[in-house]
Structure 1
Amino acid sequence: MAKKIKFNLQVNGASVSSLESLQNNFNIEDIMEHFKSGLLMRWLDVQGLETELKEISKLSEKSDNFALAQGILEIFDMDKELDKNALKITLADINYKEYKENLLKTNENLEKNAKSFLREYHDKFRDIIWDIIKNSENVEKIKSNLKIIENDYFDLFLLHFQTLVSVFKTNAPLALIFGLGTEKIRKMILAYINIEATKDHNKYCYIGDEEIDDKTKEYLNSINLKPIDYLSYGYFEAISKVVYGKLKFDYGELGDVIKRFDGSTDGLWRDLVARNKRVLVLEISDLAKASRIPKDGETNEALGKEEINGQFIILNGLNFQSSNNNAYIAYVEL
């Protein structure tokens, strides 16, 4: 009988050589990939983890990624460790990754299938937009779709930017809110909002050499937009109304997504959101302060109305302070 040669499993960037190490570095996406390739079963076998190998083997017939993930989490005693909403977003990413891989396999000869491939690409983008609109109150679907747009369809998003802002304004305002919580879409929205600083409300507004800083110029170049980029004021007005108007919101329209705290904390800092959560701060009243949750040994930043309103800052966790009974803060957990 051939001797079993032990090897390490690559999980979450770590080289895993034991069950405890796997649990400490657990990453469901990596584990599912190793399961589907058969590498996970080989690793369990050479590590002598017979109980886990037996249970994992029972999952072989399951094709649904959610059922598969749930089974793996239970076998490795990780089912209580992962946030369910985060798991849904991860699984949506896995499903989309598999869709892309299958699409590429069927389009290996791109020269012959270019038209079909591009049609499929545009159709998929359209489907993603419709999925956002049809699920305009489903936070997990919106966040997952925005992530797909940033990773794979950002050029198309830029091409249709003005139209999409108008559509989202009417049909899916949460897409704009969570767009402000992304990396590239956020920069794009804020770049256009910053046109307000030029005070040019004639037929066209522009981002000119004197009106933007070097960092913004560099970003616009990175997404193939020239620093001088003309924008019809009618479109800008629609965007500004969304961000300065709709994002001051009728809180009742958006259910429990928009969080609001009202009242005094007797001048003491109160934790509203834990440090491990990203928070988009929408608005704060006079005589109130907000801060990220400071690390041990640090102090609160004490940000007020000038630093927050209209800036859509993102904080790690949220502290609030006020001695005024009419004080309030509005925010979104990303």
Structure 2
Amino acid sequence: MKKTLIAMGVLGAFSSLAFAASNVTLYGVIEEGVMVSKAKHKDTTVQMKSGFDQGPRWGIKGVEDLGNGYNVGFILEQGFSADTGAEGTAGKAFNRESFMYVNGGFGKLGVGRTGALSSGAQSNQILTGWALGTGYMMSAWNSMTTGTLRMDNAVAYNTPSFDGFSLHAMYSNGIVEDTAKWSENNHYYGIGAKYQANAIRSSLIFEAIDNKGAAADVYPASSANKRVFLINYGLEYNLGSWTPMFAYQWFNQDEGKKTHQFGLSAKVGVAGGDVLVGGRYLFGHDESVTTGTDKVRAWNVGAAYVYPLSKRTAIKAYAGYADSSKAWADKPDTSYNGYAVILGLRHSF
């Protein structure tokens, strides 16, 4: 009888622990492939490519119910290189996201490190309109302008959804650091609107980066102390077997790039998997170049096929080609001039 009571007590303790931890989840993604690529004026290379679409990561997320419709949650996410095991960013334990939030009838308010509204990365982004997203190498939507931006010291808020509409705002008190006085930190400002109902997904985002701080901390780092302004608009319409998409971007940086970018893409169900295909065109000026003209032109086409072997594992294939003219005609970077072909595997847990 005594042993039975002890056993019941132990089982009860484990049951309580399981219940207490039931809202905490360990998750992750591992993705790696073989890539053949050639940039203009460079040799053809064959290499292992970690995270050519989805960056490898592991994370912990959890939610606690506070009652009356309120809850507190967190996301801690660390990136790494699948082919070397190296951490995503040296010195950061959770370089992809370190975010805590409160959710309720007022909306969602959170603080920490997270991705910008148009980054295509992390829990606060709302970018729409481009089937290939911000992955897939040269076909990444921001590959020729902003790249994918994650920020420290961020505050993010979004309203509840009203008939499919929601408003989103974000501010960073220091993209890398906020230890200097306010006027010497690099600040990010973002505001956007998202619509998602029935077959339509759409977003409109305005962002600014003042780059007030030291050159080592600015973003983009190649244009120190120059302000950045950015507008992104995206529209998707789900027709069932396929989803056509349209995207537009206006990018303006003082003494840097001033460009317009248009993209047409689609997601199509084929043979049990998804085909992602897109083409885009960019034109404008790049005042940072010294080739005698600052006019730039660029176009890119890309296609990917994702075939699920199970709910967690998929084979991925991608091919892309880019070509530029004017001041970017000889730029030795596959995002501007060159091609890439990739075959790989993704597993999530």
TM-score, normalised to structure 1's length? 0.24
Q: By percentage of residues, which structure has more strand?
A: 2
Q: By percentage of residues, which structure has more helix?
A: 1
Larger Rg: 1
Q: RCO greater where, 1 or 2, for CA within 8 Å and sep 6 or more?
A: 2
